[in-house]
Structure 1
Amino acid sequence: MKTLFENRPDAGRSLALGVLVAVGVLALPIGSAAAAQDDPAQALGLKVYQQSCAECHGDDGEGSEIDYPHPLHGDKTLDGLTTYIDEKMPPGFEHEVTGEDAEAVARYVYDAFYSEIARARNAPARIELARLTVDQYRNSVSDLIAGFRGRGQWGDERGLKGEYYTDRGFRRDRKKIERIDPELNFDFGIGVPDGDTENFDKRNQFSARWEGSLMPPESGTYEFVVWTEHAVRLYVNDDRNPLIDGWVQSGDDLERRASIPLLAGRPYRIRLEFSKAYQGVRKDDDEPEIPASIRLSWVPPRRAEEVIPSRHLSPEWAPPVFVVTTPFPPDDRSVGYERGTTISAAWAQASTDAAIETAAYVVDHLDDLAKVKDDDPEREIKLRDFAASFVERAFRRPLDPEQRDLYVDRQFDTSPDAETAIKRVVLLALKSPRFLYHEIDPELDPYAVASRVSYALWDSLPDEPLLKAAAEARLETREQVAEQARRMLDDPRARAKVLDFFRKWLKVDAIPDLAKDPEHYDDFTPEVVSDLRTSLELFLEGVIWDSDSADFRRLLLDEPLLLNGRLAAFYGADLPEDSPFAPVVEGVGERAGLLSHPYLMANFAYTNDSSPIFRGVFLARNVLGTRLRPPQEAFTPLAPDLHPDLTTRERTALQTSPESCMACHSLINPLGFALEHYDAVGRFRAEDNGKPIDASGLYKTRDGETATFEGVRELAEFLAESDEVADAFVERLFQHQIKQPIRAFGVETLPELRDAFVSNDYNIQTLLVEIVAESALTPRQSADLASTGE
């Protein structure tokens, strides 16, 4: 049966709603009107629809260009839709469709094209053939190379291993102190480490070396900063070539900076060498000695400079990590999550350039990666085996004889030398669809399952234990997949991907600037903003990776706010100035997890005032999963000077009072009003413009019930128990992890995952395992049938 979605492919792309606030997209199959004639109740609904609705919404619910250009679909229950039509429709003539007529037309609309089942029937979602996203490409290539070196371990101990010597070199017999230093921020003055004058010479000459590894909190470019009066060298991800080389001191430049790209979820080798030599002592006894100090800082993406915290440092050794630096065009995020469903000329060229970059790196490090010397008599044989292993790991499965001949043997047989052959092998492998498309295998074989598991959790290749499980037929049942998923959740790569989801879910993944009006908030500095981001991420990690519960509801309900000394001073808490991050309840006003976190409140606000609209839209779309259409015209908030006696709430209500605005703002505003106790930087306030804050709000659920709340605590309690919130969270997490629409895995997938989530006490880790187990074992070739329940 042909559908309007097939005839009008643009219809299925709209994410906006019609005048029915929660009613929106996708269409009715041709012929359903005729089918309704066989059922008297449906026939009445069709008649009412044609008389009172079709003029605006189209004969088949597809929308009309002039009145409501958005096809009807939504997620209200049948009762909720009936109540809404009875009270609100049609606009301006609400009394015309009520009672029995409202019930009949609601049932017709619901069954024909509105409900989830109707949409799945009319326009089945499909598991789409998708290339690797940019993150998946970079992670895969990095881990492909790491497979020949091993991966660094990230243990429980924090800090770097420090060794202190009594001369300017690093002779073993001159080493006097060995310890773990949590951070590198020392002021030795004119003396020596720990004041150990007995073991250090009278000229106070000494050197120190710190080494271990560091874990970046997110992928991006990091600027490293070393400050010292003396000789220094910093190595990051490279033991031979220093990132910063200040071993020869020149002039008065005490600060040195350099940048490097890093991928999250991987430990990177780091070594800092420091030497206080004779230059640290004046020859004239009347002149003071030059003091010795050293500080190692970094500037992570979207943050201010800070001394590298101990939580990002480990004394464990880590091998070098290859990071592709070739720029890629961004992935499509139009559906709310990144996906690789399109290939542009720019992306094709970028993948070629990245393959060339990788091939050059492999050849430059061939002895290290292939574990073979130039003078080895079996060098070519070993290089062929290395090349075969490289292709197998890239393709995520063993090679058959024909593939080995094509990708390996022919390249060696026709190349002038082994290095050229290796380059050809790498280029062929990384440009092959078997590497670029990890969903290319329609059959449900164990290696395809392994690939789905690893990309779901790591956005990268399967590791050796997962491939071994595939080879031994231990990925055939849901529990076998779940067992692997639970193991892989402990890997930092899983934590990095999940934290990336929360940044996107909370709309803080790409905040360019949180600067506020300096006339009102001159102390809201970049350092405060950076600390707020850290506070948010520490809170998220503390809940997500809680070994006892990982309860999602804590994200909404937890009262303590994580503050350090600088944030405590800004938000009115009582902590010492140099205090590390600690949970605070007193002095910061009423709080409720993410809903009132200052970083989010500042993000969803104007430069000099709060914004109930920004906050309400976030709650409606991201937390409750409601589909909102964009404003029909550019929206500029009313300036406070135009209405100097009004509060922010009153100005918002005034500006959005027209009927054309209230179609959406009747939902948005009451949610945002519940957060009015928090100003533009997230400080708690009791008054606005000299008037007591009115933080009352309400929300009409999909069932047609009205929930009311006063302030953030009551709002949080409502949201924490809402099935709509659970549905929205499950769907967004699924789509971030799997990079496919959840409906493509069957109409029962979302409710089943939601029910499991609730029955497991909202455990986020358990939900991740369930998502992986559900998606990995879904046959791709029958996904379109699965989505219709056939």
Structure 2
Amino acid sequence: MFEYGAVKGGLVQRMGWFRVILCLVAGSITVTAAVDPAKASFAKDILPLLEDHCYACHGDGETKGGLALDVFQTEKDVHHGYKIWEQIRKLVAAGEMPPEGRKKRPKDEERDLLADWSRHSLDTFYRTAPPDPGRVTVRRLNRSEYNNVVRDLLFVDFKPAKDFPADDTGYGFDNIGDVLSMSPLLMEKYLDAAETIAAVAVVIPPKEEGPTEFQKEYFKLPVAKDAEAGAFDVFVAKFMRRAYRREIRDAEITRMLAVSKAAAGEGAPLEARVQVVIQAVMVSPHFLFRWELDGAPSNPKAIRRLNEYELASRLAFFIWSSGPDDRLLDLAAKGVLRKQLESEVQRMLADSRAEALVENFAGQWLQLRNLDIVRPDKNLFPVYTPELREDMRQETELLFVDVLRENRPLTELLTARYSFVNERLAALYGLPNVQGEAFRKVVLRGNTRAGVLGHASVLTLTSDPDRTSPVKRGKYVLDNILGTPPPPPPQNVPELEEAGEIKGTMREQMAKHSTNAVCASCHKKMDPIGFAFENFDAIGRYRTEDNGAPVDAGGQLDSGEPFRDAAELREIFATKKSDLFIRCVTEKMLTYALGRGLEYYDKRPVDKIVERLKGNEDRSFHLVMGIVGSLPFDMKRGEAAP
């Protein structure tokens, strides 16, 4: 799945390259003797293949689909185009180039040469590249982070960002710096929110309400009149440090005191001046953006370790989707946070604020947020209600919490023979003796519903409104479990029959799609996986028949492993395919933690995290610790000017 960033210049976007590349090996590749990929020469062994079998469409002036392969004249050119060559390698290794139906196809050893040479050459390139922490764009707080920071900073129980414009997403997450733009509308919302927050957080006499939690936190109440000035100065320094997430200079405090005095007016009560400070801080770029100092922002070779305040901020936004608390800031001020990193991560994961990692990371990785836009047919599935939808989401979140808090193996997300249900969800599953709204942990009979792939949440969001979708379910697994996403589908693929015209089982209806040569190469990967879950209907209820015929959930993966049903398939994923799953989760979480897409130089840090997991039974704590201790999380660099 390793997604080495988006290709710049729009080349890949213009050329629809997944299908274009199918021509790459369109013909017989003539290799007279086996060649060691490690010793193969691009000029002698690889370039002739491109010249003989690809240039007719993608060279010598031809650029079908916007792709010209004759730009690759040296192995160094291949390394510069590593994003394209990673996909070439995967497609060749999978036997998808050329597609089924071609008159001439390469022999196995010929296909292996191109795939193995590509892998060896690229791996050498990645392994020998200088250590590089990558570039992270200065990013603003997204809506979730804004709400959480306001909650933790001001002790107010509402979500001021609910009316903000929706955050854009990149690489599957809404905390990616490159897509978190700032619009005039959003700036207006910030101004309005700051005013509202200040009014809620601070009560100005003579209102009858007592002091708020915010006032109790920052002031020893009541404050004597002759002590107000000193108390106010202390408040400003403490509040600014928490809000800006760094050490505050005396000059900054002096300016803020002057602003509060000028805005509130002479003789204004203490509470009015506090409100002014809150509003000023809440619209400051130092609050709205996650700043990291950059001595040489345009020099990509200027690599430095984060200072401890910056590390505290990265930790807090990764695990809590909020700013660092006083303990993290105090450790940073003393310069000992790195020395206590492991114990602090344990503390942070045990804190209730770590539920944000479940909601924001797991919720986006497993696409649980998409449940909000899924609309099962009410006539076919009358039991599906907004309440049941939330139950489905909560079940999956609670399993993730359990694996995270109890430091269980990550593969338990696929194999757990226990779950968390309330009465409504238990009824959907046919589980007896569960009553009430409260969720409780239950042991599952057998392994029919083991892990997240047996959860109604995943089964529902990968279905159509009126039926299951083996394609969606298969693609979901390839994308989010195995990390081997298929290419986009070709255009003009006919839809399945409407619900009122359904004839035969879903497997019979899907057969027409897999007979299309262009579609077949991907469907042979997706369909067996998707059909394995046909015992579950479009809202995750178990069934044994589909349209009056017995469900056939058996199949064989394109890599050869046979299975009889979803339970056996999940076991394959958790054992024979566990390396793919662990790497997929690692890459997804590292992307989320860094707020950027992964590049080729991130492969080594990912390898180290995966190795750490292997040495510790794939337990979840070591995924989090591996990430916070990795080079890209702990360091940063500048970027060359465009």
Give the alignment's TM-score, normalised by structure 2.
0.78
Q: CA deviation at 1:615?
A: 0.7
Does the 8 Å CA contact 2:317/2:323 hold for their aligned counterparts? yes
1:545 to 405, 408, 413: 405
2:255 maps to 406
Flag the 1:120–1:345 CA change in 2: closer, same or farther, 3 A: farther
Higher strand share: 1
- Distance in 1 (alpha carbons) for counterparts of 2:119 and 2:62: 11
2:173 maps to 337
Does the 8 Å CA contact 1:21/1:663 hold for their aligned counterparts? no
What are the superposed Cα offsets for residues 714-733 of structure 1, whole Å, 9 maximum, x if unpaired?
A: 21111113211111111112
1:441 maps to 293
Task: State the secondary structure of the residue aligned to 2:522.
Answer: helix
1:736 maps to 592
Flag the 1:535–1:421 CA change in 2: closer, same or farther, 3 A: closer
What are the superposed Cα offsets for residues 347-367 of structure 1, whole Å, 9 maximum, x if unpaired?
A: 333233333333444554685
1:636 to 457, 479, 495: 495
Residue 396 of structure 2 is aligned to residue 536 of structure 1: yes
- Distance in 2 (alpha carbons) for counterparts of 1:687 and 1:414: 71
2:137 maps to 128
1:392 to 228, 232, 241: 241
Flag the 1:488–1:83 CA change in 2: closer, same or farther, 3 A: closer
Flag the 1:140–1:570 CA change in 2: closer, same or farther, 3 A: closer
1:353 maps to 192
Q: For structure 1, which segment, 406-415 or 672-681, has the greater mean C-alpha deviation from structure 2 after superposition?
A: 406-415
Flag the 1:728–1:62 CA change in 2: closer, same or farther, 3 A: farther
Does the 8 Å CA contact 1:433/1:440 hold for their aligned counterparts? no
2:77 maps to none
- Distance in 2 (alpha carbons) for counterparts of 1:425 and 1:526: 41
- Distance in 2 (alpha carbons) for counterparts of 1:60 and 1:459: 51
Q: CA deviation at 1:525?
A: 4.6
Residue 412 of structure 2 is aligned to residue 554 of structure 1: yes
What are the superposed Cα offsets for residues 366-411 of structure 1, whole Å, 9 maximum, x if unpaired?
A: 8544446576123233213212222122121222233333333465
1:679 maps to 537
Q: CA deviation at 1:676?
A: 1.4
Does the 8 Å CA contact 2:410/2:582 hold for their aligned counterparts? no
2:297 maps to none
Q: For structure 1, which segment, 431-440 or 454-463, has the greater mean C-alpha deviation from structure 2 after superposition?
A: 431-440
Higher helix share: 2
Task: State the secondary structure of the residue aligned to 1:583.
Answer: strand
1:707 to 561, 571, 576: 561
Does the 8 Å CA contact 1:140/1:460 hold for their aligned counterparts? yes
Residue 54 of structure 2 is aligned to residue 45 of structure 1: no
Does the 8 Å CA contact 1:63/1:71 hold for their aligned counterparts? no
Residue 517 of structure 2 is aligned to residue 659 of structure 1: yes
Flag the 1:118–1:353 CA change in 2: closer, same or farther, 3 A: farther
Does the 8 Å CA contact 2:532/2:565 hold for their aligned counterparts? yes
Q: CA deviation at 1:619?
A: 0.6
- Distance in 2 (alpha carbons) for counterparts of 1:115 and 1:20: 27
Does the 8 Å CA contact 1:131/1:340 hold for their aligned counterparts? yes
1:500 maps to 360
Q: CA deviation at 1:662?
A: 2.2
Q: For structure 1, which segment, 344-353 or 565-574, has the greater mean C-alpha deviation from structure 2 after superposition?
A: 565-574
How many equivalent residue pairs? 581
Q: CA deviation at 1:458?
A: 1.1
Letter in 1 for 2:561: A
Does the 8 Å CA contact 1:41/1:104 hold for their aligned counterparts? no
1:17-96 to structure 2, matched below 5 A, reads 18-19=18-19, 40-56=41-57, 64-65=65-66, 73=84, 83-84=93-94, 88-89=97-98, 93=102, 95=104
- Distance in 1 (alpha carbons) for counterparts of 2:605 and 2:257: 42
1:593 maps to 451
- Distance in 2 (alpha carbons) for counterparts of 1:437 and 1:605: 38
1:265-414 to structure 2, matched below 5 A, reads 321=157, 323-324=159-160, 327-338=163-174, 339-341=176-178, 342-362=181-201, 364=203, 368=216, 369-371=218-220, 376-409=225-258, 411-412=260-261
Q: For structure 1, which segment, 505-514 or 633-642, has the greater mean C-alpha deviation from structure 2 after superposition?
A: 633-642
Flag the 1:76–1:105 CA change in 2: closer, same or farther, 3 A: same
Flag the 1:667–1:429 CA change in 2: closer, same or farther, 3 A: same
Q: For structure 1, which segment, 51-60 or 550-559, has the greater mean C-alpha deviation from structure 2 after superposition?
A: 51-60
- Distance in 1 (alpha carbons) for counterparts of 2:289 and 2:486: 33
Q: For structure 1, which segment, 45-54 or 618-627, has the greater mean C-alpha deviation from structure 2 after superposition?
A: 45-54
Q: CA deviation at 1:445?
A: 1.6
1:469 to 328, 331, 335: 331
What are the superposed Cα offsets for residues 511-561 of structure 1, whole Å, 9 maximum, x if unpaired?
A: 236554455444445554444344333333333322xx4222222112345
Larger Rg computed on CA atoms: 1
Residue 319 of structure 2 is aligned to residue 457 of structure 1: yes
What are the superposed Cα offsets for residues 193-219 of structure 1, whole Å, 9 maximum, x if unpaired?
A: xxxxxxxxxxxxxxxxxxxxxxxxxxx
2:442 maps to 583
Letter in 2 for 1:740: R
2:154 to 137, 145, 150: 145
1:9 maps to 9
- Distance in 2 (alpha carbons) for counterparts of 1:712 and 1:424: 59
Q: Per chain length, whose mean CA-contact separation is higher, i.e. which structure has more relative contact order (CA < 8 Å, sep 6+)?
A: 2
Letter in 1 for 2:195: I
Task: State the secondary structure of the residue aligned to 2:226.
Answer: coil
2:607 to 751, 757, 776: 751
Q: For structure 1, which segment, 359-368 or 398-407, has the greater mean C-alpha deviation from structure 2 after superposition?
A: 359-368
Flag the 1:719–1:77 CA change in 2: closer, same or farther, 3 A: farther
Q: CA deviation at 1:502?
A: 1.9
What are the superposed Cα offsets for residues 468-488 of structure 1, whole Å, 9 maximum, x if unpaired?
A: 2112221245xx322211111
Q: CA deviation at 1:782?
A: 5.8
1:594-633 to structure 2, matched below 5 A, reads 594-633=452-491
- Distance in 2 (alpha carbons) for counterparts of 1:432 and 1:684: 53
- Distance in 2 (alpha carbons) for counterparts of 1:413 and 1:358: 20
Give the alignment's TM-score, normalised by structure 1.
0.64
- Distance in 1 (alpha carbons) for counterparts of 2:613 and 2:639: 23
RMSD: 4.1
What are the superposed Cα offsets for residues 28-53 of structure 1, whole Å, 9 maximum, x if unpaired?
A: xxxxxxxxxx9744432122123323
Task: State the secondary structure of the residue aligned to 2:563.
Answer: strand
Q: CA deviation at 1:345?
A: 2.4
Q: CA deviation at 1:432?
A: 3.1
1:220 maps to none
Task: State the secondary structure of the residue aligned to 1:682.
Answer: coil
2:281 maps to 429
Does the 8 Å CA contact 1:20/1:663 hold for their aligned counterparts? no
Residue 581 of structure 2 is aligned to residue 725 of structure 1: yes
Task: State the secondary structure of the residue aligned to 2:552.
Answer: coil
Give the unaligned 5+ runs of structure 2: 25-38, 70-80, 205-213, 295-303
Flag the 1:576–1:108 CA change in 2: closer, same or farther, 3 A: closer
